[in-house]
Structures are given as structure tokens and as C-alpha cells.
Amino acid sequence: MTENPGRAIPVRPRGDDDEQVELRRELHRYPDLSNQEGATAARLRGYLERHRPDRIVTGVGGSGLLAVFRGESPGPRIAFRAELDALPIEESLDLEYGSTVPGVSHKCGHDGHMAIVAGLAPILARRRPLRGEVLLLFQPAEETGEGAARVVQAPAFTELAPDRIYALHNLPGFSLGTVVVRRDVFASGSIGLDIRLYGVTSHAAEPERGVSPARAVAKLIETISTIGPPESAPLEDPPGMSTPKSSVPGTLATVIHARVGDPAFGVTPGYGEVLATLRSPDSGELARLTDRIETLARNVAAERGLRVELERTEEFHATTNDPECAEVVRRAAQSLGSEVNVPEQPFRWSEDFGRFTEVGAGVLFGLGSGTDQPALHRPEYDFPDELLALGTSLFLEIVSIELGLPLA
Ligand SMILES: [Zn+2]
Ligand SMILES: [Zn+2]
């Protein structure tokens, strides 16, 4: 990674910028949780309809929305994707356009991503691509890892399957406007694993009459927590344990929640639960790690005479970029004078865009949202409006490279 100075943002006609900032702020004011994005989709539909796309499809994989802008002659179809959902986080900022929904706010910048993709509509309405088609895609339920998987199965999407699909995610910690792109895996795959252990309660004075999951839960927490970056791994396995290790960098297991019984001093617990998030940039390694931890849980449960239930949830596939699409992004960034940063390793976090790169060529790239920005999913985070025009300009440049655009 390199440190870059902030870039000047390309200038666009003032009218478009105002409209775009207004749209972002309106979306911010009325956030919707994953799988409940109907109102946000309706707002976007209203905006898009004013710019007369050739076609709008609603209800794509849930609340998803698609707008089609046809070029002057036949050619490839390229898509730009944004996410509709906000997060169950109470906004801690005092904004003039602050969230009006208690406990829900846009803390991943999806309001900004939507305004960037929608911002293509007024421009494409005036400047049709020379060939091919542009799809503006707004997908539901990204945060829960469900939306993209449903969209790729949706009849409207399979009918309009794009030849290439592009998306960006704003990245706090990178200087404003820096384009962050990799030619292969960009974001890791991840999976939630819920391990539920059932025993038998007894009086706290007679633990031998029950079957307590306490020691099994302790053993699972200890063992799972040692799978991770080398600096956190123990020098040797704890006595009697064989840790499922991984040699793939970035493979990591994080215990995110655990409990045993209830706060009742008279009772030896009969129930325990360990929840962990497993991740890896390598899909095969993630599958092997998940199998190994499930086997570990079964063995630990059997050792203690417990019944075990295992559930996999919130499964995100790794996002693997297409090298040619990555090159298009690099050229677009270059022609706008944006700094390009190529991280050595894939990011550890997950994005459900991986479902799109599994069914076709695509790229997810990062757009630096400032080194002084709070991290994503923090209550004090807010998408910087300065990035809107740049994001749209980058996408427009991609349209120009892929399909050709008449002069403004
Ligand atoms: Zn997020
Ligand atoms: Zn996000």
C-alpha cells in the first residue's frame, strides 16, 4: 500500500452535482434494513424515471431495481451495481440530513454508492453510448450476504446477463479519491458458524447429575481463537488439542459470541453456544476450514456427552476480479488523474459482489474516502459527498472505454 496525497475531484456541470448530493442525502435520511428496502427502491425508481431509461425492472431478487440505457447500435452489455440496504446502527452524528429511522442508518456508504450509480442516468440520457447497453443495478440485502445470490438467480438478471459488471466500495483509511484495485481476489469469503450444544441441567450443588456444556464451550473458544494471523497463533497447541491450522494468509476464525446457561446461581447449565465467523481469500480453504471446525465441534461434543447442532449462515463468497476489467478500471482512473493503489493482499472483509464474479466477468474496486474517516459500520461514519462526482466520472469513463461515448 502507498500513501497518496488527496486528488482534486473532476469538475462536472453544477446542476448534476446538486441533484446527486440531494439524492444521496435523501437516501441517507430514509434508510432501510436488509430485505426491507422497498421505500429506498421506490425513491430511486422515481429518480431514474425522470431520466427516461429504455426499461426499468423492479422486484429483482427482492427489492432490487434495474434500469437499462441502450446505446446507438448493438454491442456488449455492461452493468454498474450499488447496494440498497442500511445497517441496524443508531447514527451518532448530528446531520441536517440525519437518519429519521431510530436504530437504522447508512453506515457503509451504500447511500453514496446508490447516488453514484444513479448519477449515470442523467448523463446517459443525454449521451447514449455508441454501442451496447448500460445496466444500472441496485441490489438488496448486501449486508446479510443474501441479495446478490438472489439477484443472479432472478429471471430479469439472467435475461439481461451483463458481459461485465462493475462496482465500487468506498474505503476509509485510503486518501480521498484513490482507486484501490486488484487483478484477482479483492475481498475474502466468509461464513458464520453457529455451534449449539445441548446437555442436561442439574442443581448447581450436583453438577455430576447433569451434562454441562461449559468445558466444551471453553475448549471451542480457545481452539477456534487460535486460527488466524501468525502473530495471534500460539507457539504450540494447548494440551490435548489439535488446532485446525491454515497455511493460506488471511485465513482467520473469530469467535463473535458465546454463552453458557443462564445467570442462575442454583443451576448447572444444560445449554451452550459458540458463534464464530470464518474467513479466507481462498474459497477451497474456507470450505476446508469450515469442515474442520465442524468436525472439532462434533468431537468436543461427543467427548462431553452433548448433542450438537451446527448451522452455517451469512455465507459470502470471495470476490475474484477479472484482470481485464481491473485493467479497464486502472485506465479509467488514470485518465481522470486519480491515484491507483494495488494492495499486496486481498482484503479480509467480505462483500457479496463475489456472487456476480462467480457467474461472469466483473470487478469490485475501492474508492478511498479519506484517511481521517471513521471505519465503515461505525456510528459516526458518513459517506463524503465529495466522492459522488468522482465515482460517477469513473463509471462514465468505464462506459467510454467499453462502449464509446459521444462527446459532451
Ligand atoms: Zn457494510
Ligand atoms: Zn458495504
- Give average pLDDT by consecutive 10-residue segment, the chain, 408 residues: 39 63 97 98 97 97 97 97 98 95 98 98 96 98 95 96 98 96 96 98 97 97 81 48 69 95 97 97 93 95 97 94 98 96 94 95 97 95 96 97 91
For domain 189-315, give the fold. Answer: Alpha-Beta Plaits (3.30.70)
Tell me what pLDDT residue 17 has.
66
Report residues near ion ligand 1: CB below 5 Å.
108
Query: Are 363 and 166 contacting, i.e. CB atoms less than 8 angstroms apart?
Result: yes
Ligand nearest to the CA of 139: 2
> Could you tell me the distance, in angstroms and rounded to a whole number, from the CA of residue 382 to the centre of ligand 1?
12
Around ion ligand 2, residues with a beta carbon closer than 5 Å are 108
Give the Å distance between the CA of 107 and the centre of ligand 1: 7
Burial 32-52 (b: 16+ CB within 10 A, else e): bbbbbbeebbebbeebbeebe
The CA 72 to ligand 2 mean position distance, Å, reads 34
Q: What is the pLDDT, as a whole number, of residue 16? A: 57
Radius of gyration (Cα) for the chain, nearest Å?
Answer: 24
**The predicted structure's pLDDT at residue 204:** 96
Query: What are the residue ranges spanned by the domains of the chain?
Result: 14-187+318-403, 189-315
CA of 247 to the centre of ligand 1 (A): 28
Per-residue confidence (pLDDT) for residue 7, from 0 to 100: 42
Which residues lie below 8 Å from residue 354, measured CB to CB, with a gap of 6+? 148, 187, 189, 316, 317, 318, 319, 320
Q: For residues 203 and 209, what is the distance between their CA atoms, to the nearest angstrom?
A: 8
- The pTM of this model reads 0.87
- What kind of fold does domain 14-187+318-403 have according to CATH? Aminopeptidase (3.40.630)
